[in-house]
Amino acid sequence: MAEGPVRAGDSAGPEDPVVGTPYGAVRGRYENGLAVFRGIPYAAPPFGPRRFRPPVPPEPWTGVRDAGAFGPTPPKPPYSEAFAKLLADPVVPGDDCLNLNVWTPEPGPGARLPVMVWIHGGALTRGSSAIPVYDGRSFARDGVVFVSVNYRLGVEGFGLFPDAPANPGLRDQLAALEWVRDSITRFGGDPDRVTVFGESAGAISIGALLASPRARGLFRRAVLQSGAPEVTERDKVRRVVRRMAARLRVPATARAFAAVDRGALIEAQAEAGRRASPVVGGPAFGIVVDGELVPRDPLEALAEGGAAQDVALLIGWTSEEHRLWLAPTGLLERLNRLGPVALAAARARCRCGPEVPRGYRLARPGAGPADLVGQLVTDFLLRVPLHRLADAHRARSHVYEFAWPSNVPGLGACHALELGFVFDTVGVPEAERLAGPGAPQSLADEMHGAWVRFAVTGDPGWPAWDATHPVRVFGSGGPGLVRGPRDREMALWGHGAPAPTGAERDAASPGPDAAPRTVVRRLRRPGAMRRI
């Protein structure tokens, strides 16, 4: 196998870049001076006898495989109409969905450039590397080899069965990182300078990989955007699988599900999970403790300081994460109408005493019930564990908050809004769906530049986490450093005590003085959003 770029004389485009991989050569495209390779398989198609099984290497090929277009995307249901207006999620048909893409400014083994590997979000049920917002050209333009990854989603990637290993989708991510270790030198990258970054479900996945002994040494730095290390209680995942099995009238086993038509399986998955929401909970797919790849709750392992101490972290959130979950479906207005009852339901969801919502009301005197509920649940699920993670990795963690409000009415500084700024793609139509027209390019320059600096040097440009809790705020007034902007709310949770584990979060249920179960059921209407 040839090392580095080679030229294929029989190519219709002889100037296109060709690079050898351990499984065969691939031909990409030169785009604006950058070499781009799309749809490179890092594992075999996960169907037929390989369905619901750990990934295996792809079959080697002879000749040169074309890598000019995005490869197939994993099976997934479409977004509801309300969210499809805001979030792009293209579908590329085909079985060979365990693939990745590479943007590089300098293919060849001599460059040894820093590498950034992107793991997309989508509640572990949606998303792909083909979303235009995730175009890697800006990273490659700035001297980074950029890699984006597809992995199995929903029941295919995170279903739990008695006759199949758990977490196949997370195992896909691990296989992609192993491909990067073994292959990225040929694309100009340095396998010893890998930064893995992801948002929401992608960040949650990275949290699990940070604590996994099997992932040790595969990356040097990690970025967790709007997602904290967590695991889902196993019975919560089993409930989704059982609901699907009942709808399909088959046993809740991998063998039975593998025999079901792929389209029917996706329809059953969409129906079984349609009422799940970060605000009100409900059964959902998630990473589970499996005793091997995920030996224990990753938050516990990381908070104790026994894992990933040599990995530098960049972690953060948006100011109004909850507005993407609540505003598009009208749940924001329903929560405001429910008033104190909604706050009682949130208290039950978060298993906290009355002093916590009372403290939020005092801290935010102008906020309505929906925003109070949203911030309460966001802190419980996200900011408290991320503060805990930063405390455990003090001096190796940098923390940010994205505070620029969308130009789309009602969204504010919502979940996923920062993505176009991180990727410097605020001008693409798919980013404008969420940000609206006229997003400030200067803010994209600042945020994208910080991510590149972190990948190159480990320092994004502001002080590391310490006892004063420095947070870089990216907002409409320009980036600025704020000390302890969330400390008042964190103190209400007794921050400094252990953060709630994944099992404790999943076990949250209304107490005797909480909102009636009928209220929680009313909030779980069709259209309520899962974690993006």
Cβ(174)–Cβ(293) below 8 Å? yes
Which among 335, 314, 490, 331 is positioned nearest to 418, based on CA atoms?
314
Nearest 10 degrees: Cα torsion 52, 57, 59, 65: 110
**Residue 479 backbone class (left: φ over 0; alpha: ψ -120 to 50; beta: rest):** beta
Q: How far is CA 139 from CA 134, 202, 450, 505, in A?
A: 10, 18, 11, 36
Tokens 């009100």 map to which residue? 280
Cβ(122)–Cβ(84) below 8 Å? no
Say whether 321 is catalytic.
Answer: yes
SS3 56: coil
Cα(322)–Cα(317) distance, integer angstroms: 11
Tokens of 179: 């491909």
Say whether 415 is catalytic.
Answer: yes
Give all strands (DSSP E) within 326-373, no chain letters.
none
Say whether 200 is catalytic.
Answer: yes
The residue annotated as part of the active site, out of 138, 200, 226, 397, is: 200
Cα(294)–Cα(170) distance, integer angstroms: 9
The residue annotated as part of the active site, out of 120, 387, 415, 448, is: 415
The residue annotated as part of the active site, out of 233, 320, 321, 430, is: 321
Phi, psi for 285 (deg, rounded to 5): -80, 145
Cα(423)–Cα(100) distance, integer angstroms: 17
Q: How far is CA 456 from CA 13, 275, 464, in A?
A: 33, 42, 16
Cα(231)–Cα(404) distance, integer angstroms: 30
Burial of 336 (0-12, 13-18, 19+ CB in 10 A): middle
Cα(233)–Cα(167) distance, integer angstroms: 13
Total number of residues shown for the chain:
532
Residues 426, 429, 435, CA angle at the centre, nearest 5°? 50
SS3 503: helix
Cα(472)–Cα(335) distance, integer angstroms: 31
Which among 10, 101, 26, 140 is positioned nearest to 18, based on CA atoms?
26
Count of beta carbons in the 10 Å neighbourhood of residue 414 = 29
Buried b (16+ CB within 10 A) or exposed e, 69-92: ebbbbbbbbebbeebeebbbbeeb
Nearest 10 degrees: Cα torsion 240, 125, 88, 329: 30
Which among 412, 403, 402, 226 is positioned nearest to 326, based on CA atoms?
412
Q: Which residues are catalytic?
A: 200, 321, 415
